[in-house]
Each structure stands twice: as C-alpha cells, then as structure tokens.
Amino acid sequence: MSRRIAFFFMVMLAAFYCGSAMADGKPLKVYILAGQSNMEGHARIETFDYIGDDPATAPLLKEMRGPDGTPHICERVWISYLTGSPDKGMLGEGFGKLTAGYGSRSNPAEDGGKIGPEFTFGLTMEKAYRGPILIIKTAWGGKSLNTDFRSPSAGPYKLNAFQQKHYAERGMDIEKWKADKAKQTGVYYRLMIDHVKKVLADPKRVCPAYDEEEGYEMAGFVWFQGWNDMCDGHTYPERDRAGGFAEYSSLMAHFIRDVRKELAAPKVPFVIGVIGVEGDKAKGAIANLRPAMAAPTMMPEFKGTVAAVQTADFWDCEMASLMDKKSKADHRLQAAHVLTADGVMEKPEKDVPGWEPIGTPGPQDRTWRFISFDPQKQEDLLPKEEKKRYRIIVLPDELQQWYMPDFDDGKWSSGKAPIGKGSWKHRMIGNATVKYNSEWGDGEFLLMRTTFQVNNLDYQAFRISVLARQGFHVYLNGHKIHTYIWWKDEPHYRPIPLEPQHVRHLKKGKNVLAVYANAEYDRRTQASFATIDLAIEGITKVGMDYVNSQAYIDKQMHKVCTPREAKIIRGASNGGYHYLGSAKMLGQIGEAFAKAMLEMEKQK
C-alpha cells in the first residue's frame, strides 16, 4: 500500500470515528444537575471496590470501570462543573469528558478524586442515547433552597411569626438582619442560571461534538439538596411535626417554574432527589422533609414532568453500622500517636520505618523544668465556665524571657512529661483517663522547658507531636514555631507539620524546647484539668513512603476492624449527610436519577 493510499485510509477512518462520536448528527442533549454537597458528591474512588461485593450492584461497577480497572471515560458525554466559593475568590469551572473526579473539589478546575451522582447519571444516559450529551453541574455545599437557591417568583425571604418574636426577644437588629438576608437570597440560584446560559451560548467550548446545525435540546434537570433546609429550625419552626416543611414544597414549585421560564423550556423533565439520610430509620425532621420534597410531583401543573427519587432506598445500613469503627480507624491514621486503654502513648512498632523522635535523650526520658501560675491582672481573668481558655496574659516580670535558651529555670519544678492534673477522660478508648507523670501544680497556666542533643538532621520532613487539652505556644531555641488557640476534646498526640522556616531553628548540638499552655475547668464542678506533652519528630523518604502505603493503612485499619470491614469503610466519610462518602450509594442514586428522567422522556 502506498503512503498516499495509507494516508487516505487513515483520514477516512478518522472521519468515520469522528462521525460516530458525533452520533449521526443527533442534537446535543443537555442535562442540568444542581444542589448542595450531595450533588457535589463526596464519594471517593477508593470506595468503588465495595460496589462489586453486592450481586445487586456488581453490574454497576462494571459500567463505572474500564477493562483496566480505572474509571470509565465517556466517549459521548461531556460535563461542565461550576463550584467553589465566590466569597473567597474560588468560584471556578472544570470541564471535559465525563469520568470520575467531577465530585466535590477543593480546586474547581482539578480532579478531586470523588464522584457525585453525575458519573452514573451520565453512564446511564450514554447507553440510552446515541447522540452527544452535555451535563451542566452546579453545586455548592451548605446551601439552602429557602435562601441561597431561592428563585425570583418565591419573592423575598420573609420572617415568620416565630422569627419575629424570637429575634425581638433577643434584641436583634431586625432591619439589619433583613438587609443581610436580602443580600444572600438567590445568590446561588443566579450563579446556576448564569452558568447554564454561559455554557449554552457556546456549547462547543465544552463539548467538541456539538453540531450547530443539529443544535441542542434542554433534556432535563436534576435537583439534589435538602440538608440545610432540614436543619433550619427558624425558617421551619415546626419541622419536627408532620407538615412542618410545607414552605419547602412551595419554594420547590417556584424553583421549577422559574428554571423552566429562564431556560425557555416550559416542560423540561425535572427530577427531585429526596433526602435519604438514615434510610428507613429516619425520624423527625429528615422524615418530615421527604414528603415535602416530593410534593410537587402531585401538583396538576407538573403531572408527568416532575418525578421524585427516594434516595433512602439506597442507604447502606452495613456501611452506616461501621461508622464507629471508621472513627477509630481514622483516629489511628490521623494521630501522631494514639493512647492505649491505660491512657498512655502506644509504643511504636519496632523494625519498621516511620516517624521517629529527634534528639537524645528520647522524649520518654527527658527532664522538663516547669512552673504553673494564675493570671496576675484582672483583665486576664476568665470565668471558670468559659471553655475556650487559651489567651495571652501578662507574665510576671521574672518570667518575661522564659522561652530563651539561656533563661535560668533552676528554681522551677522538674519531672518527666506528660505534665498534668485532674481527669481528662478518653472516650475513644472506653472513658479511660489520660495518665501523666508530673503534677502540673495549682496554677491555670504552665511554662515548661527541656533540652536535647541532636546529631542527625537527615530527614525528609519534620513535625511536632503534641498531647494538649487547651491552646499552647511552642518555642524552639527562642523562636516561636507554632501556636494553637482552640481545644481538643479527644486526647491523642496530634501531628503538626513543621515548615522550612521553622525547621531552620533546629540545629545539631544542644536544643531548647519551650511550651506555654493552660488548663481547663469543668463547668459543673469547676475542677481544673490539663495534660501537656510534646516532641519534635522526623521522617526519612523511606519512612514517608511506608506510612503513605496501602500496607501501612491496612495494618492500622485492621487493628480496629476486619479486612472486609476495612474494605467497606476505606475512603468513606463519617458524614451521613454526604451519604457516608459512599460510591455505592451515590452510584445507585445517579443511575436512579437517569432512569427516572428516561421514564419521563418516554411519556412525552
């Protein structure tokens, strides 16, 4: 075959495939997906494997993955996804061929490693339609229908009788509240509509298969939201009673009408994803919101063009039952060190690479010098009922330079860490009390110092490992390297990464580590309690590779759950409002949305 003939053959073959992608000149079908965090989608790709364990969902997993096991990439489905915070200058768009990764994103333009309902919705639609498909998705976490997505015909947000009385009793500036509310009202509805119009003004930018001669068809709209309205006891003061969400039904009807009007699609099929958190065990507000969300389907004007999908049908009870074990597994994976049932640091594994303490003697053998005291000035005092007690107080004159390496702490107390007092209960391990080696003293505040020798600094990364109930300052060789201003209810050694500007203060030879900390008071008994311990640790590249490996993750998870349980919860989320970050749940939900849409299309 000559080069000219071969080239001609290749051109014709490319034209054939291109024509196939254009799907015989069919119009572009456009589907809009909108809502809050569940429409964003928090299902990590790591949760895919579990879908294959269930015979009922195993076929779905085969659709979601290609032959090589990686997420399927659609050939005839494209997506434009608007998300991110406009208030923080992070509003942005991601677009391309539909595949996994168009779920929740920290950077709108980058693959977030998650899916929402869009993935299986698009897969299902691709099988049903031979032409090109465009999904326009707009979703933001924590948004309500009553305010953020409130549509124009619903009118301005109005205070109900409960709010008027309640806000007046609290002495609120109601006029200012109304003005602030007016600024918030409808902001995300407008962002959604404007983005849809922007994409449709130039569909080819997102979807190269778009044929201008064939045009596009506004084929459907999917709404998946509800959590923020469900939680809003002010807008819905009777939410715990049947019928308490009647206002939501009204707002939903206005929303459908307005979307159809703005997009010039008076009968576009509309699917409402009904909140399914807690499955068939849901009570109270969640259970009461469900019929209110589905109510528009019963309105004569929406007959046959609005459908409701009960997402409770896909709630995963097995996964939900493992959330306590997931919390414990996450605790192990996220902590620098965990505490044993005796309330002491769990001994590190031997003969495996990982984080290791910097310097000698080791942390368990170091002597700390410390002094406790109470605030001396009236303005530094806080009532003992105040939980957040961290603050900067005026130190006695003799303690002004307490953190400097050459400070004389010879008159202070001495002992091993942890230093503490009172009882700090550890609910994660059966309500045990954190053990400490040295008595804190009577004062609310503590200053502590120790020295250690460093011979080796050949590490890839450094961190502080700290056990502390309340806020603290950390100084290294006279330089502040960290401040924490809150509190920590669950005791464990937290990892705090050290940046290069902090690590540069660590040196070979003698080092001085100094800490400023404060105690807390029990609000009922006003008894004082506190614990503080810390060390600087380093890790080599070999150690970093190991602690980031699946083998290490599995080992930690298997300390609190079976291999099968670990498979179920790996990559999942504790957030029930995110459907536990389960691809099994969101995969089925996306497929159900598509099937409901296709059923309405059949009725046209």
The answer to whether the beta carbons of residues 520 and 389 sit under 8 Å apart is yes
**Average pLDDT score over residue span 314-327:** 95
Banded model confidence at residue 20, pLDDT cuts 50, 70, 90: very low
CATH architecture of the domain covering 355-543: Sandwich (2.60)
Q: How many beta carbons lie within 10 A of that of residue 109, not counting itself?
A: 12
Cα 70 to Cα 72: distance, rounded to the nearest angstrom:
6
Q: Does pLDDT of 238 surpass 80?
A: yes
Query: Can you give the pLDDT at residue 427?
Result: 76
CATH architecture assigned to 26-151+187-320+576-603? 3-Layer(aba) Sandwich (3.40)
CA distance 484 to 97: 43
Cα–Cα distance, 562 to 179 (Å, whole number) = 54
pLDDT exceeds 80 at position 116: yes
d(CA 222, CA 409): 67
Q: Which helix (H) or strand (E) holds 12?
A: helix 3-21
CB 557 within 8 A of CB 274: no
**Strand, helix or coil at 222?**
strand
| pLDDT recorded at residue 531 | 95
Average pLDDT over residues 353-380: 95
Q: How confident is the model at residue 55 (pLDDT cuts 50, 70, 90)?
A: very high
Q: What is the number of residues in the chain?
A: 604
pLDDT of residue 21: 43
Q: Two tokens at 487? A: 């509190």
For 382-415, how does the pLDDT look when each residue is reduced to its tens digit (9 = 90+)?
Answer: 998 888 899 999 999 999 999 999 999 999 999 9
Q: In this prediction, what percent of the chain has a pLDDT beyond 70?
A: 96
Strand partners, 78: 97, 134
> What pairing do the DSSP bridges indicate for beta strands 356-357 and 77-83?
unpaired
With a cut of 60, say whether residue 7 has pLDDT above it: no
Q: Where in the chain is the domain with CATH 2.60.120.260?
A: 355-543
Distance CA 250, CA 445 (A): 56
According to DSSP, residue 498 is labeled P
Give, in order, the Cα–Cα distances in Å from 558 to each of 51, 69, 322, 554. 20, 25, 13, 6
Query: What's the whole-number mean pLDDT along residues 486-504?
Result: 92
Mean pLDDT of all residues in 222-227: 98
- CATH 3.40.50.1110 positions along the chain are 26-151+187-320+576-603
Q: Note the pTM of the prediction, 2 decimals.
A: 0.85
284: its two tokens: 């109270």
Rounded Cα distance, 207 and 517, in Å: 57
